Structure 1
Amino acid sequence: MATIEECRSALDRLSENMAGAKGDVRAAAALDRSLSCRVTDLDITFVGRLANGRIEVQDTLQGPPPERAQIRLTMSGDDLVSMVNGELNFAKAWGSGRVKLEAGLRDLFRLRTLL
């Protein structure tokens, strides 16, 4: 089972990858939205913002987030680390229900280029 530190590190690497992206991927990541990433097996939630093409984690909370973020991810810690390491395909994990992505319809259309 992935640790809190490994999950936070994975989010930092994902942020770096997004910031270095080009073209359609860069445009999709350029949203300015509140963001939460719920790690179910650790019962924690990273909360922050997607801004300027980066994920800015502002806090780590025990349990579910107190407020509903505009973009919400839910998954296990192992799946988060595996996706960022390129070992788990996001689209397949999302389609099978291993990963949940919730957002407004417009945001989902923009974010689909990241898949």
Structure 2
Amino acid sequence: MRTIEECRAALDRLSDNIGGAEGDVRKAAALDRSLSCRITDLDTTFVGRLRDGRIKDVTTVPGAPADKAQIRLTMSSDDLLSLVDGELSFAKAWGSGRVKLEAGLMDLVRLRSLL
């Protein structure tokens, strides 16, 4: 199990990676949507906004957030760090149920290039 600080740093790295992307990935990340990343083993949710190809305005809330974000991720702290560090494939983690992604159909279509 990782710490909240390690997870926050991983989300910052993910934002940097998305922000520096080109082509289809950059287009997919150009959404303006509320975003949450629930870390199950820490009973913590990071809430922010995907805007201008970056994850912005990230705050931490204990447990589940009161409001439902437009794009919602759920996973363990270890899986978050493994995904961001490139040690775990998102498709494999999602397919096996280790990562849960919830979003509207059109957002899922646009996000597929990020996955």
State whether TM-score is above 0.5. Answer: yes
3-state secondary structure, aligned to 1:64: coil
Q: CA deviation at 1:93?
A: 0.2
Q: CA deviation at 1:57?
A: 3.9
Aligned counterpart, 1:100: 100
Amino acid at match of 2:12: D
Amino acid at match of 1:114: L
3-state secondary structure, aligned to 2:101: strand
Q: CA deviation at 1:108?
A: 0.0
Query: Partners of 1:6 and 1:58 in 2: how far apart?
Result: 14
In the alignment, is the contact (CA less than 8 A) between 1:46 and 1:57 conserved in 2? no
Aligned counterpart, 2:39: 39
**TM-score, normalized by length of structure 1?**
0.98
**TM-score, normalized by length of structure 2?**
0.98
Q: How does 1:1-115 map to 2 (within 5 A)?
A: 1-115=1-115
Query: Partners of 2:7 and 2:46 in 1: how far apart?
Result: 9
Q: Which string of whole-angstrom CA distances, capped at 9 and with x for unpartnered residues, describes residues 60-81 of structure 1?
A: 0000010000000000000000
Query: Partners of 1:37 and 1:113 in 2: how far apart?
Result: 19
Taking only aligned residues, the RMSD between alpha carbons, in angstroms, comes to 0.6
Query: Partners of 1:93 and 1:57 in 2: how far apart?
Result: 26
Query: Partners of 2:57 and 2:40 in 1: how far apart?
Result: 17
Gaps of 5+ in 1: none
Percent identity, aligned pairs only, is: 75
Instruction: Tell me how many residue pairs correspond in the alignment.
Output: 115
